[in-house]
């Protein structure tokens, strides 16, 4: 459709029309017609002053067309115009300075980015097929120089390489003695490795044992999934879920936003639909934000639904008093969750029972809260290669004795064992029981010990008021009062926020010296 022009006054009017890829600027100057032409009565925007096109002298009998483009704009009703088109004004080009890369603000960070980093495959494959191939090539002397990752090969293989190299080089008597010692050490390592393989055990740290339990259960049951903050490619705050996202994908190992009430409720809903989610709280103190979901939904939903829904969900995470982690990151929530009906609670203290309790909690049809202590993750222990599980309602006899029964759990187990060494030197024979099951209590194992020793000492890291020790003491009094020869003593943490200072932090937690003094007082 051709543009239609409205009557104009004696000053330029700019009309922008598209011509090809460019926009065409048209400056039109014309005198108003003697009579109104209805064909030209179209809407005209308000005229604006232009600095590019200065006004020309008025012409009464003609309409002057100023074209600001090399292309000519031909309008039928202006074909009689004889004015030549004015040339397009040339704008002054702005000279730009050549681009120069700015140096990084932090020079050392800039250099670190330029360094070549190892590939993720080599970084992850410490014990995989690449490491096995490297260790197999180390048996030849020629492959010694090219085998840089020494950690991938066993110590026996490295010693055998040195033995072969020394024998080939024709060393002297001193080197011969060194070769002989290395050969003997290599045989000893091989014998120890064979003995370990025959016994069917392997050493794992506690967080590695938890990870192994997750891997085994996720391989056995496709409904098992993990969700929480940074549990995916980051591997969790304490690396319990490291590598699970690569093995099982992002759908079964789900990274969630920082909203504990959200992903805890999502885990409860997934359990209602038939999945077996493992919900990880980055810290047990953060799960206070999900207390409504844990209490009203997770614990009570099986009862309030008349048994229509089962909630096989595991809620786990690190907790306890660490090393100057502050009050908010040193929470002990056992006393918070023990009053929730329908909820089971267990606390692991060794890599062996950590793996066994994790597997049992995943297979349970009830919601289970697994308490892990932040200072026990690097505890190493030899666990069997065969599959095993630990009973969720059974205590563990740590040390049999005759004089006094010491009931404890989690990190305080090691404080009690340290105090037991001192007590043995003083002539006492304490019996140590790791209760493990915080709800319900294993009253069978506890009762048999009380019937033998007739004295009870409870040691816990939880708060004194309303803690696990108070509930356990009440249960013992209700069931085994007639077997007691002395009042029950309970050593708990102080009812104060955990201080940040190390000396004050130790003062709020039970120490081995306090345990020794309490046993001496009970056995008087």
Same domain membership, residue 252 and residue 170: no
Same domain membership, residue 440 and residue 336: no
Q: Which own/partner contact pairs does 139-142 have at CB distance under 8 Å and 24+ positions apart?
A: 141/165, 141/168
Tokens (6 digits) for 17? 């029309």
* pLDDT value, residue 93: 58
Q: Above 80 in pLDDT, residue 376?
A: yes
Across the chain, what does the average pLDDT equal?
75
Q: What average pLDDT does the segment 378-385 reach?
A: 94
327 pLDDT tier (thresholds 50, 70, 90)? confident
The CATH number given to whatever domain includes residue 458 is 3.40.50.920
Q: Under a CB-based contact definition with an 8 Å cutoff, are residues 101 and 59 in contact?
A: no
Same domain membership, residue 380 and residue 249: yes
The total number of structural domains that make up the chain: 4
Q: Above 60 in pLDDT, residue 16?
A: no
Q: Above 60 in pLDDT, residue 190?
A: no
Q: DSSP states of 139-197 as a string?
A: TSGGGTTT---GGGS-HHHHHHHHHHHHHHHT--HHHHHHHHHHHHHHHHHHHHHHHHH
| Model pTM above 0.75 | no
Please give the positions annotated as active site: 260, 329
199 pLDDT tier (thresholds 50, 70, 90)? low
Contacts of residue 273, defined as CB under 8 A and 6 or more positions apart, other chains included, come to: none
Percent of the chain topping pLDDT 90: 55
Tokens (6 digits) for 359? 């597997």
* pLDDT value, residue 516: 97
Please report whether residue 422 resides in a domain: yes
Please report whether residue 266 resides in a domain: yes
200 pLDDT tier (thresholds 50, 70, 90)? confident
Q: What average pLDDT does the segment 1-9 reach?
A: 49
Same domain membership, residue 463 and residue 341: no
Residue 443: which domain range? 397-522
Q: Above 80 in pLDDT, residue 519?
A: yes
Final residue before a domain boundary, out of 33, 48, 78: 78
Range of lowest pLDDT (192-206, 258-272, 304-318, 391-405): 192-206
* pLDDT value, residue 4: 52
98 pLDDT tier (thresholds 50, 70, 90)? low
Please report whether residue 261 resides in a domain: yes
Please report whether residue 302 resides in a domain: yes
The predicted-structure confidence for 479-506, as pLDDT tens digits, reads as follows 999 999 999 999 999 989 999 999 999 9
Same domain membership, residue 64 and residue 19: yes
Same domain membership, residue 278 and residue 190: no
Range of lowest pLDDT (38-52, 259-273, 299-313, 491-505): 38-52
Tokens (6 digits) for 448? 């048999």
Q: Above 50 in pLDDT, residue 63?
A: no
Q: What average pLDDT does the segment 175-204 reach?
A: 49
Q: DSSP states of 59-89 as a string?
A: -SS--EEEE-SSSPP--GGGTT--PPPPPPP
Please report whether residue 403 resides in a domain: yes
* pLDDT value, residue 87: 59
Chain position carrying tokens 């932040």? 374
Tokens (6 digits) for 130? 């690449």
Helix (H) or strand (E) holding 226: strand 224-228
Contacts of residue 421, defined as CB under 8 A and 6 or more positions apart, other chains included, come to: none
Biggest CA–CA distance in the chain, Å, is: 129
Q: Under a CB-based contact definition with an 8 Å cutoff, are residues 245 and 233 in contact?
A: yes
Instruction: Tell me 374's DSSP state.
Output: G
Residue 83 region, left (φ>0) first, then alpha (ψ -120 to 50), else beta?
A: beta
Q: What average pLDDT does the segment 288-306 reach?
A: 92
Alpha-carbon separation of residue 455 from 240, 471, 504 (angstroms): 39, 17, 31
Rounded Cα distance, 332 and 411, in Å: 12
Same domain membership, residue 224 and residue 194: no
Contacts of residue 179, defined as CB under 8 A and 6 or more positions apart, other chains included, come to: 162, 163, 166, 167, 171
The CATH number given to whatever domain includes residue 323 is 3.40.50.970
Q: Which residues of 75-114 are buried (b: 16+ CB within 10 A; e: fewer)?
A: eeebeeeeeebeeeeeeeeeeeeeeeeeeeeeeeeeeeee
Rounded Cα distance, 190 and 244, in Å: 32
Range of lowest pLDDT (94-98, 245-249, 430-434): 94-98
Same domain membership, residue 364 and residue 218: yes
Q: What average pLDDT does the segment 108-136 reach?
A: 40
* Main-chain dihedrals φ then ψ at residue 381, nearest 5 degrees: -155, 155
- Alpha carbon 268 to chain centroid distance? 20
Final residue before a domain boundary, out of 63, 78, 93: 78
Helix (H) or strand (E) holding 317: strand 314-319
Contacts of residue 83, defined as CB under 8 A and 6 or more positions apart, other chains included, come to: 62, 64, 65, 66
Same domain membership, residue 255 and residue 185: no
Alpha-carbon separation of residue 160 from 107, 126, 132, 144, 463 (angstroms): 45, 21, 16, 11, 56
More confident residue, 184 or 405: 405
68 pLDDT tier (thresholds 50, 70, 90)? very low
The predicted-structure confidence for 282-295, as pLDDT tens digits, reads as follows 988 899 999 999 99
Please report whether residue 84 resides in a domain: no
Helix (H) or strand (E) holding 434: strand 430-434
298 pLDDT tier (thresholds 50, 70, 90)? very high
Q: Under a CB-based contact definition with an 8 Å cutoff, are residues 441 and 473 in contact?
A: no
């Amino acid at each position: 459709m051709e543009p239609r022009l409205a009557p104009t006054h004696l000053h330029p009017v700019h009309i922008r029309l598209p011509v090809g890829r460019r926009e065409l600027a048209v400056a039109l100057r014309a005198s108003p017609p003697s009579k109104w032409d209805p064909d030209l009565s179209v809407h005209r925007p308000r005229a604006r002053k232009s600095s590019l096109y200065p006004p020309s002298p008025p012409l009464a009998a003609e309409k002057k067309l100023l074209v600001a483009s090399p292309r000519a704009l031909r309008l039928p009703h202006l074909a009689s115009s004889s004015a030549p088109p004015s040339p397009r004004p040339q704008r002054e080009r702005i000279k730009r300075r050549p681009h120069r890369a700015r140096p990084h603000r932090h020079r050392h960070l800039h250099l670190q980015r330029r360094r070549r980093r190892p590939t993720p495959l080599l970084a992850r494959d410490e014990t995989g097929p690449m490491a096995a191939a490297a260790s197999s090539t180390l048996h030849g002397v020629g492959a010694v120089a090219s085998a840089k990752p020494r950690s991938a090969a066993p110590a026996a293989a490295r010693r055998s390489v040195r033995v072969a190299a020394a024998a080939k080089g024709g060393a002297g008597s001193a080197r011969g003695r060194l070769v002989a010692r290395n050969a003997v050490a290599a045989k000893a390592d091989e014998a120890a490795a064979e003995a370990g393989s025959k016994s069917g055990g392997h050493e794992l740290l506690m967080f590695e044992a938890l990870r192994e339990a997750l891997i085994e259960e996720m391989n056995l049951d496709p409904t098992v999934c993990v969700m929480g903050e940074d549990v995916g490619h980051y591997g969790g705050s304490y690396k319990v879920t490291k590598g699970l996202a690569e093995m099982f994908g992002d759908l079964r190992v789900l990274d969630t936003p920082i909203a504990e009430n959200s992903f805890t409720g999502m885990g409860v809903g997934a359990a209602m639909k038939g999945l077996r989610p493992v919900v990880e709280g980055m810290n047990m103190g953060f799960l206070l934000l999900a207390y409504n979901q844990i209490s009203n939904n997770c614990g009570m939903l099986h009862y309030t639904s008349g048994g229509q829904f089962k909630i096989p969900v595991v809620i786990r995470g690190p907790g306890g008093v660490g090393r100057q982690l502050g009050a908010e990151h040193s929470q002990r929530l056992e006393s918070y969750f023990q009053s929730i009906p329908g909820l089971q609670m267990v606390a692991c203290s060794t890599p062996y029972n950590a793996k066994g309790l994790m597997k049992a909690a995943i297979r349970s049809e009830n919601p289970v809260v697994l308490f892990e202590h932040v200072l026990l993750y690097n505890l190493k222990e030899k666990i069997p290669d065969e599959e095993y599980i630990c009973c969720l309602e059974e205590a563990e006899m740590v040390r049999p004795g005759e004089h006094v029964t010491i009931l404890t759990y989690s990190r305080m187990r090691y404080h009690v064992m340290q105090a037991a060494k001192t007590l043995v030197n003083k002539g006492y024979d304490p019996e140590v029981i790791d209760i493990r099951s915080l709800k319900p209590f294993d009253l069978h194992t506890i009762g048999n010990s009380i019937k033998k020793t007739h004295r009870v000492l409870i040691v816990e890291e939880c708060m004194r008021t309303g803690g696990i020790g108070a509930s356990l003491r009440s249960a013992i009094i209700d069931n085994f009062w007639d077997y007691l020869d002395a009042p029950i003593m309970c050593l708990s943490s102080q009812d104060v926020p955990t201080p940040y200072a190390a000396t004050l932090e130790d003062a709020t937690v039970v120490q081995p010296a306090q345990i020794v003094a309490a046993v001496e007082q009970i056995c008087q």
